[in-house]
Amino acid sequence: MKIIVAIKQVPARDSQLKIQSGAQWIEEDDLTFEINEPDAYALEEALQLKEKHGGEVVALCLGPARAASTIREALAKGADRAIHISEESINGLDTLAVAKLLAGAIKSEAPDLVLTGLQSDDLGYGQAGVVLAELLGVPHATIIMQVSIEGGTLRVKRELEDGWFQFVTMPLPAVLTIQSGINKLRYATLMGIKKAKTKEIKVLSAADAGGAGTAVSTLDRVYVPLRTKVSTIFEGDAKSTAAQLVEKLKFEVRVL
């Protein structure tokens, strides 16, 4: 069974973010980068499926040269080889362009299963996996909490809202977008880290992956959420101010 895991490199959690002049993206010079968290769970799921069913895990990453460190981490954790679509200006790409490039790299590999995180920690659109499935012409399921494969059929557990789950049976090949926490992440062993150096990383240009095409949506402006703090002082006796507070909590803040 061949599994491709699409991973993205994003700024480390808890980074102090500064907006670039021009407000088109964040300053990247002083940031450290790491694997997008849901993608780390997707990679772990792929490695566990390989341990159960055999086959191969290929890490696929669209990103600038610095993303190589995240790719090598995936190899250190146990991916067999990697494909790096090297593109310096990924922040100018819209979801469709990202999905087109990923699909372009995936098609010739003809995988049985494609896994990716349900969304990226930086942009958070949550669409790349879904659009990718459409471009590949295969079914998809999102927000996956559990994966099992029996006789060429996939059975997955999807997380819905309010503690509800949905079980879906679907054919292979397919694309799944994985929810964080689906499994327990492994450490990269020191032996794995050393071995990663000997594993293949195929580097493709955007053109090699079929090109990104023209963007259909553009990023207009990046900004820090504006503070719109307004204080309200309730007038009246205790009973009426309590009633006003409860109304606010119920209908405005919606915590009751």
Partner 1 sequence: MAFKGVDYLLIDSQFSEQELMVRQTARQFIDDKVMPRIKQAWNEGQGFQDLAREMGALGFLGANLEGYGCAGMSNVEYGLLMQEIERGDSGLRSFVSVQGALVMYPIMTYGSDAQKEKWLPKLASGEAIGCFGLTEPDFGSNPAGMKTRAVLDGSDWVLNGEKTWITNGSLADVAVVWARTPDGIRGFLVERGTPGYSTSDIHGKLSMRASVTSSLAFSDCRVSQENMLPNGKGLKAPLGCLTQARFGIGWGVIGAAMDCYETARQYTILRKQFDDKPIASHQLVQEKLAVMITEITKAQLLALHCGRLKDEGKLDAAHVSMLKRNNVAMALDCARLSRDLLGGNGIMDDYPIMRHLCNLETVKTYEGTDHIHTLVIGERVTGIAAYK
List residues binding partner 1 (CB under 8 A): 14, 69, 72-73, 76, 187-191, 193-194, 196-197
CB closer to partner 1 out of 72 and 100: 72
Task: Read off the tokens for 23.
Answer: 């407000």
Nearest distance, CB of residue 32 and partner 1, angstroms? 9
The rounded distance, in Å, linking the Cα atoms of 8 and 205 is 16
Nearest distance, CB of residue 77 and partner 1, angstroms? 10
Tokens 């409860």: give the residue.
Answer: 246
Number of Cβ within a 10 Å radius of residue 117: 27
The rounded distance, in Å, linking the Cα atoms of 168 and 162 is 18
Question: 148: which strand partners?
Answer: 155
CB closer to partner 1 out of 74 and 99: 74
CA 92 remoteness from chain centre = 17
Nearest distance, CB of residue 183 and partner 1, angstroms? 15
Nearest distance, CB of residue 206 and partner 1, angstroms? 24
CB 89 within 8 A of CB 63: no
Nearest distance, CB of residue 27 and partner 1, angstroms? 17
Number of Cβ within a 10 Å radius of residue 200: 10
Task: Read off the tokens for 239.
Answer: 């009973």
CB closer to partner 1 out of 187 and 251: 187
The rounded distance, in Å, linking the Cα atoms of 63 and 61 is 6
Nearest distance, CB of residue 254 and partner 1, angstroms? 30
Residue 20: closest CA among 222, 193, 238: 222
CB closer to partner 1 out of 191 and 233: 191
Find all residues with CB under 8 Å of 200, minimum gap 6, and list them: 81, 82
Which H or E run includes 189?
none
CB closer to partner 1 out of 37 and 208: 37
Task: Read off the tokens for 205.
Answer: 């240009």
Nearest distance, CB of residue 15 and partner 1, angstroms? 11
CB closer to partner 1 out of 14 and 235: 14
CB closer to partner 1 out of 68 and 170: 68
